């Protein structure tokens, strides 16, 4: 693994340059980075009409 990237529990490699932004966005919603990414992917799938979105505004 390249030292400029991190592995998160959900298996997505995030460059260090993006990590701080993800941590801030997750903290604003009271989530971990992994939970925030999961919510973000769910929102994108919901917006695309691929899944139902029970709470589109987030947690």
In a domain, 15, yes or no: yes
Phi, psi of 6 (to 5 degrees): -125, 150
In a domain, 59, yes or no: no
Split into its structural domains, the chain has a count of 1
pLDDT in tens, 5-29: 555 555 667 788 888 899 999 999 9
Host domain of residue 18: 5-47
pLDDT in tens, 25-57: 999 999 998 889 888 888 898 889 898 876 656
**What integer pLDDT is reported at residue 56 of this predicted model?**
56
In a domain, 42, yes or no: yes
pTM flag (> 0.75): no
The answer to whether 29 touches 58, Cβ cutoff 8 Å, is yes
């Amino acid at each position: 693994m390249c030292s400029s990237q991190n592995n998160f529990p959900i298996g997505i490699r995030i460059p260090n340059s993006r990590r701080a932004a993800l941590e801030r966005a997750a903290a604003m919603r009271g989530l971990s980075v992994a939970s925030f990414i999961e919510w973000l992917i769910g929102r994108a799938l919901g917006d695309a009409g691929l899944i139902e979105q029970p709470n589109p505004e987030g947690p």
